[in-house]
């Protein structure tokens, strides 16, 4: 046998798996349907926010995190409800992952040269009770160099194993079938796709040039999710999230097509957690798209007012950055598949950020000068580009102009000036005191934002 292990997918998970396997002296065949330009998959585009527990970065910010608190949060978010069946391994995996994140994870990454931006972000704050969904404390550690920074050491390890002949990496090799014998997967069959000059992340041709078949004692599937395939997303849409939206954007490239999941199932693989999807609701159309329907997620700071299509503030705890899936359900229940953020220029400057490596050139390019210039104020250039070109933005100097612009953008004519004005004045009144009954303001003060 030529290879010990076949790894399908050269995204971050495939690169990590390959680099770990070769350490044990095994020979790996690494296959990917995309051209070499897309090596590293989604992770290259990512913001590189990693989950760590009780890190020096957290302690430096005065955050007291612990394995116990992280486990409490994990249980609240996971909602394990089928422990004897689908959740059996999920729970075991979660326990092991919490140990990893509170234990060796940071030291391991550090040993590979990965460093972190010293400000830890607070994603998914929850907004319920202590045992409910969400992170009780900030845990989103941004890699210095964002997505490319996390891909780099693993790519380097794989490339060095390629030069020593231990890894055979074959781009444009799309797996179409898993070969089984007596209940075990013993190899893969697939199509060699025509060579492609597509740049990183761009959709590449599916024209077939030939076929292939390889055998190995083990096959690892690291083919990513289904987010680039809206048909599959709709087919699997969980009833608990309301109706699937009519309009969807893709936060991921087209290669995240979910095809390999069906192929794995045909070979006897068991797919779990179909109903546990994750969709961000704060997606905006990329004015400068790289892949089809390219959506960029707003990383919402906590101050914007979040309103439904009719201009009514969402009820607690549907505040920016609190409960993504809960807010998705709340939005879907309105019968409209969009919502509004209202914010001022000061809020845009202070806390508006966009997810993704290319939207954060300062952190991605490891430029201390550019990062420091964030603190001086002003609107970051990628955000300004969206204000200038993004079709989802309305910029106005007065409230009547803003409302007119909002109504023009959707043509639904649902926003009433008096309603918006009333809610803004009411919220501003709540800011005058150190006391308040508005939970969004309590939350702002809880993290020292006001
Ligand atoms: C803009 C953006 C921001 C993100 N921010 C964060 C963040 O801050 N923190 C975080 O934790 N996560 C983040 N993510 C998510 C994270 O990057 C992904 O979950 C992760 O990179 C997925 O890695 P993967 O290797 O499992 O899949 P992928 O990167 O999708 O790689 C799978 C590979 O398999 C290949 N493949 C699929 N099917 C076949 C087949 N049949 N034959 C051959 N090859 C096949 C694909 O071509 C692809 O190269 C972000 C993602 C994006 C896009």
Say if residue 450's pLDDT is above 50.
no
Question: Could you read off the pLDDT of 218-270 as tens digits, one per residue?
Answer: 999 999 999 999 999 999 999 888 889 999 999 999 999 999 999 999 999 99
- What CATH number does the domain located at 1-48+143-278 have? 3.50.50.60
Tell how far the Cα of 225 is from the centroid of ligand 1, in angstroms: 7
Which residues surround ligand 1 with Cβ inside 6 Å? 8-14, 31-34, 38, 41-43, 45-49, 174-175, 222-224, 251-252, 255-256, 259-260, 355-356
Structure token pair of residue 312: 């009514």
Which of 6, 11, 291, 353 best tests ligand 1's pocket when mutated (most atoms within 8 Å of CB)?
11
- Do residues 444 and 450 make contact, with C-beta atoms less than 8 angstroms apart? yes
Tell how far the Cα of 7 is from the centroid of ligand 1, in angstroms: 14
pLDDT at 448: 58
Which of 43, 187, 201 best tests ligand 1's pocket when mutated (most atoms within 8 Å of CB)?
43
Question: Could you read off the pLDDT of 124-160 as tens digits, one per residue?
Answer: 999 999 999 999 999 999 999 999 999 999 999 999 9
Q: Which residue's CA lies nearest to atom 41 of ligand 1?
A: 175
Question: Could you read off the pLDDT of 8-66 as tens digits, one per residue?
Answer: 999 999 999 999 999 999 999 999 999 999 999 999 999 999 999 999 999 999 999 99
Q: Which of 187, 183, 195 is nearest to 213 (CA)?
A: 187
Q: Which residue's CA lies nearest to atom 27 of ligand 1?
A: 224
Q: If you average pLDDT over residues 359-377, what whole number do you get?
A: 83
Domain map (residue ranges) of the chain: 1-48+143-278, 49-141, 283-446
Structure token pair of residue 35: 């051209």
pLDDT at 374: 73
How far apart are alpha carbons 302 and 282 in whole angstroms? 13
Atom of ligand 1 lying closest to residue 40 CA: 29
In 202-288, where does DSSP find H-type helix? 230-235, 259-266
3-state DSSP helix/strand/coil % of the chain, to nearest 5: 40, 15, 45
Measured CA distances, 255 to 97, 178, 248 (Å): 27, 19, 17
Supply φ then ψ for residue 416, to 5 degrees.
-110, 130
Q: Which residue's CA lies nearest to atom 51 of ligand 1?
A: 46
- Do residues 273 and 90 make contact, with C-beta atoms less than 8 angstroms apart? yes
Tell how far the Cα of 41 is from the centroid of ligand 1, in angstroms: 5
- Do residues 347 and 304 make contact, with C-beta atoms less than 8 angstroms apart? yes
Confidence of residue 1 (pLDDT cuts 50, 70, 90): low
How far apart are alpha carbons 420 and 422 in whole angstroms? 5
* Average pLDDT value for the chain: 95
- Do residues 245 and 280 make contact, with C-beta atoms less than 8 angstroms apart? no
How far apart are alpha carbons 101 and 240 in whole angstroms? 30
Question: Could you read off the pLDDT of 389-438 as tens digits, one per residue?
Answer: 999 999 999 999 999 999 999 989 999 999 999 999 999 999 999 999 99
């Amino acid at each position: 046998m030529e290879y010990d292990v076949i790894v399908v997918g050269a995204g971050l998970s495939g690169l990590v798996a390959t680099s770990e396997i070769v350490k044990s002296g095994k020979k790996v065949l690494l296959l990917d349907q995309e051209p070499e330009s897309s090596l590293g998959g989604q992770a290259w585009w990512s913001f590189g926010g990693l989950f760590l527990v009780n890190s020096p970065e957290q302690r430096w910010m005065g955050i007291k995190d612990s394995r116990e608190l992280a486990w409490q949060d994990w249980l609240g978010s996971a909602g394990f409800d089928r422990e004897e069946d689908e959740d059996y391994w999920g729970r075991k995996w979660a326990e092991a992952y919490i140990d990893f994140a509170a234990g060796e994870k940071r030291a391991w990454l550090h040993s590979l040269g990965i460093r972190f931006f010293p400000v830890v972000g607070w994603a998914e704050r929850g907004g319920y009770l202590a045992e409910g969904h969400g992170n009780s404390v900030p845990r989103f550690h941004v890699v210095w160099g964002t997505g490319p920074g996390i891909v780099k050491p693993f790519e380097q390890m794989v490339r060095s194993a390629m030069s020593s002949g231990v890894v055979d990496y074959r781009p444009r090799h799309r797996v179409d079938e898993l070969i089984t014998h007596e209940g075990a997967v013993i190899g893969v069959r697939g199509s060699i796709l025509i060579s492609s000059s597509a740049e990183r992340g761009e959709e590449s041709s599916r024209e077939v040039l030939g076929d292939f078949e390889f055998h190995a004692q083990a096959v690892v599937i690291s083919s990513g999710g289904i987010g680039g395939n809206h048909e599959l997303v709709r087919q699997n849409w969980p009833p608990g999230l309301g109706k699937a939206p009519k309009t969807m954007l893709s936060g991921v490239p087209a290669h995240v097509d979910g095809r390999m999941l069906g192929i794995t199932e045909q070979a006897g693989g068991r797919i779990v957690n179909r109903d546990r999807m994750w969709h961000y609701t704060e997606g905006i159309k990329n004015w400068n798209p790289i892949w089809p329907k390219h959506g960029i997620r707003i990383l919402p700071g906590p101050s914007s007012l979040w309103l439904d299509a009719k201009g009514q503030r969402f009820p607690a705890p549907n505040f920016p950055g609190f409960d993504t899936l809960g807010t998705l359900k709340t939005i879907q229940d309105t019968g409209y598949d969009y919502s509004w953020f209202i914010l001022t220029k000061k809020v845009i400057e202070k806390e508006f950020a966009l997810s993704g490596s290319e939207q954060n050139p300062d952190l991605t390019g490891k430029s201390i000068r550019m990062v420091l210039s964030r603190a001086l104020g002003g609107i970051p250039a990628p955000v300004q580009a969206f204000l200038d070109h993004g079709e989802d933005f309305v910029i106005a100097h007065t409230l009547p102009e803003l409302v007119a612009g909002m109504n023009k953008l959707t043509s639904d004519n649902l926003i009433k000036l008096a309603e918006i004005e009333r809610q803004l004045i009411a919220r501003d009144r709540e800011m005058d005191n150190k006391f308040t009954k508005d939970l969004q303001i309590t939350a702002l003060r809880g993290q020292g934002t006001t």
